[in-house]
Amino acid sequence: MLNLGPFIRKDSLSMLQDILGTSPDLTGSTTLEKTLDILGDHPFYIRALIREIWSQGSTRRASRRWLDGALREALEATLFDQNGRLSLFMEQRYRVATGESSTLAAVLRGFVEPGRITDVAKMLHIRTGAVSTAVKTRMLEDALTKQEDDTYAFVDPTFALWLKHQVDFRQTMPPLLVGTDSEQAVAKRLAMDGFRGAYQSLASRGAFDLLAVHDTRIFGLQVKTTRVPYTLRAQEKTRLMQDARRLGIHPVLVLVVSGEARFYDLRGKPARGAYTARAETEWKDSLLALLR
């Protein structure tokens, strides 16, 4: 295959010089080279960066120090700011690739670093077949490609970088801002796992501290910071199980032990009587593992 990289790089440098009015010696800027590496010499990305630098004003001060600062600010504003031109573009690509599926979203996030299907399945605590099926969904809408060593990687490294820095905190803001420390820790973990919603439970929703939404499934989480063994008292458990049945919610006890969230599946457990989580009691380190 013809390698157009050097020609595109030369064109990108020329474009920057022509518009910014920089002198040739600035092409040796380490920051400039790193920026072009990040953007992959993609013409649309370069133009978006240039437009942002231009909007900063005073673009004719072509000193090395000014250029380095302008490039960093422009990259932050275009790619990582929620309202940046490239960020909005990446958000649209993300929605096309994953639709409304939290599973597809989690799988796509799992490949922000090149990896094998089995490794991502293990990391996400879901079946290998489920990851394989997700990947083959038009290769997650053309986002992924299979490499010679049987790993999968993003076709566009800039897209991977954007996604790597994204954690969808917008819908988890209530517990992140005003929740307890343990609720905040759990909400962050849910966001990292690709859950579209993590909400503080209102009194009308029953005995749960948080509600987590995965596609059409709703999990009710009761969160405790404690040590094991831990006993959920009979009265508290009965109310939790009754509310879960009444509202059609999957009940989960979450114990935050030394900063680590442990998810205990209460579905199918008797409504009455206490529940004790001991050292040997089965638990999962991700709510995704309870999907079945």
Q: Is the pLDDT of residue 107 over 60?
A: yes
- CATH number of 87-164, picked from 1.10.10.10, 3.10.20.740, 3.40.50.300, 2.60.40.350: 1.10.10.10
pLDDT in tens, 73-83: 788 788 877 78
Helix pair 157-164, 85-98: axis angle to 10 deg: 90
pLDDT of 276 reads: 94
Confidence of residue 6 (pLDDT cuts 50, 70, 90): very low
277 forms bridges with which residues in the sheet? 230
Q: What is the mean pLDDT of residues 9-33?
A: 58
Domain locations along the chain: 5-80, 87-164, 173-290
Interacting residues of 136 by C-beta distance below 8 A, sequence separation 6+: none
- pLDDT, greater one: 74 or 40: 74
- pLDDT, greater one: 110 or 64: 110
Helix/strand/coil for 125: coil
Q: Are 208 and 201 in contact (CB under 8 A)?
A: yes
CA atoms lying within 13 Å on the CB side of residue 233: 3
Confidence of residue 10 (pLDDT cuts 50, 70, 90): low
For 44, other C-beta atoms within 10 Å of its C-beta total 11
Q: What is the mean pLDDT of residues 101-130?
A: 88
pLDDT of 171 reads: 47
The chain-wide mean pLDDT, for the chain, equals 78
pLDDT in tens, 56-72: 665 455 566 667 777 77
Range with lowest mean pLDDT among 121-125, 203-207, 268-272: 203-207
Helix pair 43-56, 5-20: axis angle to 10 deg: 20
Task: Give me the CATH code for the 173-290 domain, please.
Answer: 3.40.1350.10
Q: Are 159 and 165 in contact (CB under 8 A)?
A: no
Q: Is the pLDDT of residue 178 over 60?
A: no
The CA distance from 159 to 179, in Å, is 32
Which range has highest mean pLDDT (39-43, 74-78, 126-130)? 126-130
